[in-house]
Structure 1
Amino acid sequence: MKRIDKRHLNEFQDMRIAVVYPRISRGIGGIESVTDEILSELSEEDDVVFFSVVPEKFRESLSEEVLGRIEVRDVGSNIRIPLRDSERFQLLKEKLIHRRIGSFMEEESGDFDAVVFSAKFMYSGNFDCPTIQYVHNPSVSFQRSEYSSNPLKSVYDSFLNFLSSDVFDADLNLFNSEFTRETYSSISGDVLYPPVESDFFPGDKEDRVICLGRIARNKRIDEAIDIVASTEKNLEMTVMGRTTEGTPESYLQKLESREKKYDWLEIKTDVPQDELVKEMAKSKIGILSTRNEHFGIAAVEYMKAGALPMVHSSGGVQSLVNKDRFTYESIGEASEKIDENLGEYDELRDFVIERGKDFDVESFRKGIRESVNGIT
């Protein structure tokens, strides 16, 4: 990457910053939360222009105050979006879109003091101002290695790796976890944990387990149910899952069939935030069964609510918790640890609540502000 000369600004001069959300997903998740907080923080002091293919969903998630401080530009009105409404070939579509957004932003970059990409950007180019990139996901080569191998998949994997090989090397790359950073060989940078909302709180606890996550097979919610079924304690369990346009109906039906089988299990989908907060407040255990979770926001939310986490011992999430107490490799190990941890709940609860305080919105926003100030 060509290194550009940094600008020398008067310390009292507002900067003009472009924030770019280069994804086409209309769903709301961790990447969107990061984008919201970047916009909120930078617009407090600087002139911010937000570029997005799907700006309408941010108009719903951002406060009126923040929307009043930023200028929103729909990049889709400047470039033709291939297969925009199709759910297939996601990586290929994003690669094509990133090339077009990259070319567009190269021309626009001369008008800005910095460009901040709020998600991984697959593009090789030169910009006329300093750049920052926030990387949420492990490299594609790592993600594809999780799938079973056969000749056809190997060819497809090679094609995907080729598409993603030119991941943008910004002046400053920020990663959501050490795990994510270690999966990349072509870029390096610093770890900045993502923001986790702080409206979760510990309440009057019950012998209850909660499992949060999108309704998808890779979230392994059925495994979380098996873990609770294997414990010796008489526990209630609530699964609170998000659905999207791509939610597999067969998997949701599988979970609902388990609900009919177990009288201690309840499946709830797309519940409002206030109901989620109340359910978290009364739960003693929170399970996250996903393999190679990039960060593990749900585990942090559990801890903030005083729920002892039980997470799979892979990915970035295991670095957030005490491995001896709160990670597992098998269903049997998880159920045994849950039984043991419940016997020491009061002591462990204080520990996880304190740990949860290490991951907050304020720390993330401070890190973004220092990063922007440091490269301009």
Structure 2
Amino acid sequence: MRPIRQARAMADFGVLHEGINAGGGAEAVGLHTVSALADAGHEVTLYTTGEPDLRTLADDYDLDFPAEVRVRSVRTPAISAVNHAATLARPLGVTDFPLLRTAVFERVVARRYRPDHDRLVCTHGEFQVDGAVEYVHFPYFSADAMRRYDTRFAESLYPAYHRVCRTVKRRESDAETLTLTNSAWTADVLHETLGTDATVVHPPVAVDAFDPPTWTEQESGFVAVGRLHPLKRQDELVEVVAGLRERGIDTHLHLVGSDGSAEYADRLRAQAREFDWLHVEGRVARDRLVSLLERHRYAIHGRRYEHFGIAVAEALAAGCLPFVHASGGQQEVVAGIDALRYEDVPSAVTTTASVLDSSETQASLRDRLDGRAAQYSRDRFERAMREAVESTLR
């Protein structure tokens, strides 16, 4: 690594994000990090796989990258071999090897390009390379963390696959590594499972895209945002709203998100044909999503152990009262308010009913959450991320 320059002087950063085209919240972290560092005048190279088009990504994420930002698509026989192995494994139900591809990609970039930069900044997760900055969404390479907070270790082949990924990862000494993460909950998981101390920098949320109407103009219904997949537990959300209606509460539910599991999505659509209060919207355009959230008073989130919960923060910005499972980082978005948290379907019915039945409770909750969404803005993320990365140059 070349000599470090003085703090605030222009530096040269390599930003790693394998799969920048994936289109999720993690990719928003990567692209806004590139934007923040480039806008500050630093030299930035984005390392990724595939064929990213920075102009298209800028449009998708409402960003304006300086022309000087460089993109390097990393291709090696090792990465190609991982992709080929995933193709061969599809008959077994395996569609991808993301952890293994990520580990191989990181080794290639660190070995080839680390000397070219003042710092490497990894925004897709654990990097574990001396002198780097890592933004950890969740410690996916920790077997302990995965067993506690994920379901994949229950799959017959996953423990062996995970062991291979950990072997390729080969953690180096992290004495100089700066670890950032998305929530206090994830920071606690990192400390418990890896002994790593992390600084919380909440991910960027497009809170300024929302301009909700007055509460009286909003419908007394729920919106749930997230890919249609068993992990998101939309089937349980349907049970919650059905339970509310059995209590005589006139409400409804919109499910918004792409098909994460075709079989699961088909079951939800079959229920929608049976219940006129259930609307499976599927994947919708951004303006449609914004409109749905702004038009409804309530949002509900079924995912357990969510690492942060961008959909929950967007619902908050849209003027909704969001109900979340009492686990994970999504609790922080609703300020840990008990009236907005639930443990299971029966408690969710009881919790939401107590709010829907009381205009005074609704007003009190809105007052407590007023202005909270602003702390998750994209400007706030870029400023915090830039300051954190630049602090490593001192």
TM-score range relative to shorter protein: 0.7 to 0.9
Deviations 1:73-132 (A, max 9, x none): 11126974323263333323332333223322xxx2223222211121455x55xxx421
Alignment partner, residue 350 of structure 2: 336
- Structure 2, unaligned stretches of length 5 or more? 87-94
Deviations 1:231-289 (A, max 9, x none): 1311021111124xxx3211110110110111011111221111111110011111111
CA change 1:226–1:151 in 2 (3 A) is: closer
Q: 2:189 aligns with which of 168, 171, 183?
A: 183
Alignment partner, residue 133 of structure 1: 134
Alignment partner, residue 62 of structure 1: 58
Q: 1:274 aligns with which of 280, 284, 287?
A: 287
Alignment partner, residue 29 of structure 1: 24
- Structure 1, unaligned stretches of length 5 or more? none
Name the aligned partner's letter for residue 180 of structure 1: T
Figure out how many residues of one structure are paired with residues of the other and give that number.
361
1:200 aligns with 2:197: no
Alignment partner, residue 115 of structure 2: 110
Alignment partner, residue 91 of structure 2: none
Q: 2:376 aligns with which of 356, 359, 372?
A: 359
Does the 8 A contact of 1:174 with 1:192 survive in 2?
yes
Alignment partner, residue 325 of structure 1: 339
Does the 8 A contact of 2:78 with 2:104 survive in 1?
no
Distance 1:79 1:156 in 2: 19
Name the aligned partner's letter for residue 300 of structure 2: I
- SS of residue in 1 equivalent to 2:197: coil
* 1:6-25 aligned within 5 A: 7-9=4-6, 11=8, 13-21=9-17, 23-24=18-19
C-alpha deviation, 1:230, in angstroms: 0.8
C-alpha deviation, 1:164, in angstroms: 7.7
Does the 8 A contact of 1:82 with 1:93 survive in 2?
no
Identify the range of structure 1 (83-92 vs 205-214) with the bigger mean alpha-carbon deviation.
Answer: 83-92
- SS of residue in 1 equivalent to 2:376: coil
Does the 8 A contact of 1:79 with 1:100 survive in 2?
no
CA change 1:58–1:291 in 2 (3 A) is: farther
Does the 8 A contact of 2:187 with 2:197 survive in 1?
yes
Identify the range of structure 1 (315-324 vs 234-243) with the bigger mean alpha-carbon deviation.
Answer: 315-324
Name the aligned partner's letter for residue 72 of structure 1: V
Distance 1:216 1:227 in 2: 17
1:350 aligns with 2:367: yes
Alignment partner, residue 52 of structure 1: 48
Alignment partner, residue 34 of structure 2: 39
Name the aligned partner's letter for residue 386 of structure 2: R
Distance 1:82 1:14 in 2: 38
Q: 1:237 aligns with which of 242, 253, 276?
A: 253
Distance 2:331 2:230 in 1: 20
Distance 2:6 2:355 in 1: 54
C-alpha deviation, 1:165, in angstroms: 6.7
Alignment partner, residue 81 of structure 1: 80
CA change 1:10–1:97 in 2 (3 A) is: closer
C-alpha deviation, 1:328, in angstroms: 0.4
Distance 1:161 1:144 in 2: 15
Does the 8 A contact of 2:20 with 2:48 survive in 1?
no
Deviations 1:267-315 (A, max 9, x none): 1122111111111001111111101101111111111111111111111
CA change 1:60–1:365 in 2 (3 A) is: same
- SS of residue in 1 equivalent to 2:390: helix
Alignment partner, residue 222 of structure 2: 209
CA change 1:52–1:78 in 2 (3 A) is: farther
CA change 1:19–1:162 in 2 (3 A) is: closer
Name the aligned partner's letter for residue 190 of structure 1: T
C-alpha deviation, 1:320, in angstroms: 2.3
Does the 8 A contact of 1:341 with 1:348 survive in 2?
no
Distance 2:153 2:203 in 1: 33
Does the 8 A contact of 2:7 with 2:390 survive in 1?
no
Distance 1:275 1:92 in 2: 36
Q: 1:313 aligns with which of 317, 326, 336?
A: 326
Distance 2:261 2:5 in 1: 52
CA change 1:57–1:209 in 2 (3 A) is: farther
Distance 1:177 1:10 in 2: 27
Distance 2:162 2:31 in 1: 34
Does the 8 A contact of 2:147 with 2:153 survive in 1?
no
- Percent identity for Structure 1 against Structure 2: 24
Distance 1:211 1:47 in 2: 40
CA change 1:317–1:138 in 2 (3 A) is: farther
CA change 1:111–1:157 in 2 (3 A) is: closer
CA change 1:144–1:26 in 2 (3 A) is: farther
TM-score, L = length of structure 2 = 0.83
C-alpha deviation, 1:160, in angstroms: 5.9
Does the 8 A contact of 1:176 with 1:194 survive in 2?
yes
Alignment partner, residue 90 of structure 2: none
